[in-house]
Structure 1
């Protein structure tokens, strides 16, 4: 097996046409944490690589390799597998022809390949002497193992985190291998008034489950797409009936199409629709509710006319709870037509409407900041601010969704620290008129395209969920089950039900093994409490600073100002960057978590960030 040595220098290159750069950035940061200099090729050598495929160029590529003193080279191409193999072949031929490989007398002693799974297999078959391949589903620990990084070069604080992650990975692999989860039976959750009827409430179902020591409620997101709209709706109704008959699913989340969210009640002629079920009428929503008996039903908020759609969901599907994203699902992320400010006004108006119904609210907030590279402080702070806004507007029940594995390179102990810090802050708002329920989920880009590995990952992340509040057998109250096929194909009812079985069985087995001493409790990890306390303190300080410096902070204008002045770093934002220059703060993975850094890559202090926000508020026109 290949081993990296001190003194090695890593170069990372991709054809310019491939815009998938986030994985390369995270990869380079892992290397740098291990003390290995890593250089990402800029535009000139990347263009040269494409030119070589046309029989041109090569000088810029050679100059970059030689001048940087590169001894290890990584090639990445995550688009078409055939193109990946062709371009990689061009690169390998160039390295050999120019005598840059160590076997030819040059400096490069190892080459790595990153691409889609089929491309990785083909590359290994054609170039068996490759040092390693990366399919895109590797954990930081797996990445370091493939690279052959010696233990003494790994970050000093990684061993405890790696131990926890490896233990959960092994737990998941063994659980899936045994296949015992397949024998799991549906649960009977009846026995309280209104069960399965109009007026059934998620709060009642949770209370009934807690009183009868039942597992958490299971929620999945479902929404088939087909070119023919009516065919897609008919298929979804069939799926809904199958899931209702199966008895494993408690809460059906309708994965409505983009046009259902942005242009409901309008003509769709000439408009391009994305994935998801294209529900276009009130009657179709009502039909879903009827087909779903006895499941609870909910769906996405609209991306336009949000308050009106919230009222329509009440009237057609007796929506189990509403969800608002405040800063998101608008022009800033390309998910809706509203400007950020208009979106905030609509969401605050919708929140007042939701409060009048007595229904719970879920804030789809922290993970959307996480998708755009925010730091862990921004993740926790944004979630707390959304919860406090909900309380201020009269919401009585708040469902705290926590997406784990976001970004997927986060260590498990840091995920727990984030989740616990956020939960502590939101629970601090609880009183007789404000109740919080926890709803964790796996990350969207966490799962492997290999179905068996993905099943094991699902069991492993379920264990992580249980460790958020390990001393509370009633927590979490809801689990949003991300189906194991997330990275491979759209989940159908069979896959959804198998994913629920893995989740339920994984939760029960993990608790049993911990009780019997077969799994070491995470509470013994000395690093976890320190990480949690640090995040909790910093997020509380940041929230207090924003409340003090921004007039009427829990308002559309207040939330807009927070974004404008850089309360939440968004280095990966692709739209509206000119509108929010204050959010253009670099972040990087440090110690298994995301931290805001200066332009030299050094972590920014909390005091300096608050000072920057205060100064921006003095000069920005908001």
Structure 2
């Protein structure tokens, strides 16, 4: 740990930046002392000689020409008193910082364009490029190197290969995010290893058309610049183990997203049966666990996106984490999609996420660590792009309540068009602005009494449903991870969603309503919303 001192020099009285920097230094475990505003060079040197600090941070935010005589005087006295071994830092406006760059005794110059993650990284003695090289693009190390500042992720994939490659280069050079999630088109996800099955009229539908191993390799090379963002990609919906190997050997897949109940006949994104896809999904989790690759199981929000009531959304989020742990996953990335359904109230949304966090993190032990990833709901963004920007900021503000390790940025443009590089960069800047404003000292919305009451009610309902599953399927050794049981629960409607109506692989009879901003199960027979006990009694004649 180091001893820091800071001061605004000359006649500069602007001390906010210096004070905030020293506060961050203290939070990182260093000692820090602020000398005040308008400190003369002589007084600064006298104090340095008395206290012998490791780092001196000086600030100046007046006109650029005014700083030159001050820095000339400081430079002379540094050499006169043999203070070259001290680490000197400068902070000021961008024009002033340009003058400061001419003085070689400064080891670091901040001009106000830096974000908090860069400042935190500096205080921890880490440079991002060195971190990436040293840690072989390890997402967990990248998270730990900067927390509480979250890692930033964004989806990217255009219908043109070349535009995607050039876009990745532009995004990487902007240094604005940490993880680019590649979005392949559906032909890639389903038929990369059986190209004869592709319908080429659909090339580029939903993402980038990757057809050769070399296409993936070029994605990786495109990202080797700027802040060296990690890459990851959607999993395949067929030949999933071949796809996993492909992603690992080409783009060094930062982590794998594995569905538990999807990418099959249930959502039409594959031809696998429910039992087969659940079994294969579990084995895919195990495959990555054996290679110490983190896993994300996107499950809870898939049900909420299909208007399942909040209880089912929380149950499936918990079962996703439960299955990952059972398959030996050590590092689990738990995604919390806010604003789903889009009309859910912020209080009720936060309560639902807090219920998920509490239940999922109850599974943690020395062999199973959970990392929180938050994001806005895609369907919640307006087609009016200016409105969508506000919605993205509002969602991020709410999501920061969870103290996330990763923020999955949803491009504000997505309701209108697939995000272009400029949209990705602007969306990430919007989110970074929210993070900068909320990382320290924000209102703790978790303590809202309405939020806590709803969270506790949800946990009670969730436990009732989980215990009912165990009771109904007591012949199974572990019904919560039994593919046959999970498929049967969906077939019988114990786990269900209104959007599955007419799907022969599901019950599809669940009715839900938004009441007081929360998504509730509804009984047409009773003409009102119902508790989980009432819903299951009516469904199963219990």
- 1:176-215 residue pairs with structure 2 within 5 A? 184-185=113-114, 188=118, 191=127, 195-196=132-133, 199-210=136-147, 215=149
Corresponding position of 1:486:
414
Corresponding position of 1:568:
495
CA–CA distance in 2 between the matches of 1:270 and 1:306? 20
CA–CA distance in 1 between the matches of 2:237 and 2:527? 36
- 1:523-538 residue pairs with structure 2 within 5 A? 523=446, 525-538=448-461
- 1:113-512 residue pairs with structure 2 within 5 A? 184-185=113-114, 188=118, 191=127, 195-196=132-133, 199-210=136-147, 215-225=149-159, 232-268=160-196, 270-273=199-202, 274-293=205-224, 294-468=228-402, 475-511=403-439
CA gap 1:258/1:246 in 2 versus in 1, 3 angstroms: same
CA–CA distance in 2 between the matches of 1:364 and 1:354? 16
CA–CA distance in 1 between the matches of 2:113 and 2:158? 26
> What is the DSSP-based 3-state SS (H/G/I as helix, E as strand, rest coil) of the residue aligned with 2:530?
coil
> What is the DSSP-based 3-state SS (H/G/I as helix, E as strand, rest coil) of the residue aligned with 2:296?
strand
> What is the DSSP-based 3-state SS (H/G/I as helix, E as strand, rest coil) of the residue aligned with 1:572?
helix
Corresponding position of 1:31:
none
CA–CA distance in 2 between the matches of 1:296 and 1:196? 11
Say whether the 8 Å CA contact 1:333–1:575 is kept in structure 2: no
CA–CA distance in 1 between the matches of 2:538 and 2:289? 35
Corresponding position of 1:608:
534
CA–CA distance in 2 between the matches of 1:478 and 1:586? 33
CA–CA distance in 1 between the matches of 2:294 and 2:535? 34
CA–CA distance in 1 between the matches of 2:506 and 2:515? 25
How far residue 566 of structure 1 moved from its aligned partner, in angstroms, is 2.0
Relative to the length of structure 1, the TM-score reads 0.63
> What is the DSSP-based 3-state SS (H/G/I as helix, E as strand, rest coil) of the residue aligned with 1:467?
helix
CA–CA distance in 1 between the matches of 2:294 and 2:538? 36
> What is the DSSP-based 3-state SS (H/G/I as helix, E as strand, rest coil) of the residue aligned with 1:297?
strand
How far residue 198 of structure 1 moved from its aligned partner, in angstroms, is 7.7
Say whether the 8 Å CA contact 2:258–2:295 is kept in structure 1: yes
CA–CA distance in 1 between the matches of 2:157 and 2:276? 28
1:558 aligns with 2:463: no
Relative to the length of structure 2, the TM-score reads 0.72
1:594 aligns with 2:519: yes
Say whether the 8 Å CA contact 1:330–1:339 is kept in structure 2: yes
CA gap 1:477/1:614 in 2 versus in 1, 3 angstroms: same
Q: How well do the aligned residues superpose, as a CA RMSD in angstroms?
A: 2.1
Say whether the 8 Å CA contact 2:493–2:509 is kept in structure 1: yes
**Stretch of structure 1 that moved more, 309-318 or 479-488:** 309-318
Corresponding position of 2:510:
585
CA–CA distance in 2 between the matches of 1:451 and 1:608? 42
Q: Which has the larger radius of gyration?
A: 2
How far residue 195 of structure 1 moved from its aligned partner, in angstroms, is 1.1
CA–CA distance in 1 between the matches of 2:161 and 2:133? 22
Say whether the 8 Å CA contact 2:355–2:459 is kept in structure 1: yes
CA gap 1:564/1:615 in 2 versus in 1, 3 angstroms: farther
**Unpaired runs of at least 5, structure 2:** 1-111
> What is the DSSP-based 3-state SS (H/G/I as helix, E as strand, rest coil) of the residue aligned with 2:307?
coil
Corresponding position of 2:68:
none
CA–CA distance in 2 between the matches of 1:331 and 1:560? 12
> What is the DSSP-based 3-state SS (H/G/I as helix, E as strand, rest coil) of the residue aligned with 1:385?
helix
Say whether the 8 Å CA contact 2:265–2:505 is kept in structure 1: no
How far residue 196 of structure 1 moved from its aligned partner, in angstroms, is 4.4
Which structure has more relative contact order (CA 8 Å, sep 6+)? It is 1
**Unpaired runs of at least 5, structure 1:** 1-182, 226-231, 469-474, 617-622
Say whether the 8 Å CA contact 1:569–1:596 is kept in structure 2: no
CA–CA distance in 2 between the matches of 1:261 and 1:289? 18
CA gap 1:197/1:373 in 2 versus in 1, 3 angstroms: same
CA–CA distance in 2 between the matches of 1:198 and 1:238? 26
CA–CA distance in 2 between the matches of 1:557 and 1:547? 13
Say whether the 8 Å CA contact 1:362–1:400 is kept in structure 2: yes
Say whether the 8 Å CA contact 2:496–2:506 is kept in structure 1: no
Corresponding position of 2:35:
none
